[in-house]
Amino acid sequence: MRKLRRTGFEASDINRRLLENHVIICGFGPLGEVLGRLLDDHRIPHLVVELNPDTIQKVKEMGKEVVFGDGTSEEILYRSGIEKARLLALATPDFLNNMAAIRQAKRLNPEIKIITRAKYRREVERLYQAGADVVVSEELEGGIEIGRTMLKELGIPPNDVDNYISGIRDFGSADFF
């Protein structure tokens, strides 16, 4: 059994034996909170990794499991049960931290699925190269959703709009933009 050093920032006593096929959400800002609600609504076990003490208090008050720390840390990921986790959702906006967390998580659990965000389209490919399975580009998705609404407001039939948007996603945004 691995011996972990005490870091002084344990936020909860998580029973690692109960962690299996769970989701780890790194970052519990607005995006992470939405992900947590979706998982709650579907009764999917999950825990949160968070650095902000105020947010940790909020997460604990919500009755969620939380680990205080950085998702780029081997120790924090281990404490979160990364080796038995089903999925890692990186909800933090920091590109470099997400890159490091992806690499660390894949090293500790090569089978884990990783979903992350990219603020800018130019970051997407590097996140995939680091090992992410799904990267959501805030720029692209924001543009798609604004465009979808705009076209529908201008009277384009909803099915035509949805087919057009699906084409952008299916064939890659590089061909479109």
Dump pLDDT digits (tens) for 8-64: 434 445 555 568 899 999 999 999 999 999 999 999 999 999 999 999 999 999 999
Contact 66, 48 (CB under 8 A): yes
| Residue 130's pLDDT band (cuts 50, 70, 90) | very high
42 vs 117: CA distance, rounded Å: 22
**What type of residue is 74?**
E
127 vs 133: CA distance, rounded Å: 9
Contact 27, 90 (CB under 8 A): yes
Contact 12, 1 (CB under 8 A): no
Q: What is the pLDDT of residue 9?
A: 39
35 vs 99: CA distance, rounded Å: 20
Task: Answer whether 0.95 is exceeded by the pTM.
Answer: no
Cα dihedral 86, 91, 93, 96, rounded to 10, equals -20
List phi, psi (to 5°) of 46: -155, 165
Interior angle at CA 110, CA 105 and CA 115, nearest 5: 55
Statement: residue 1 has pLDDT above 90 = no
Statement: residue 176 has pLDDT above 70 = no
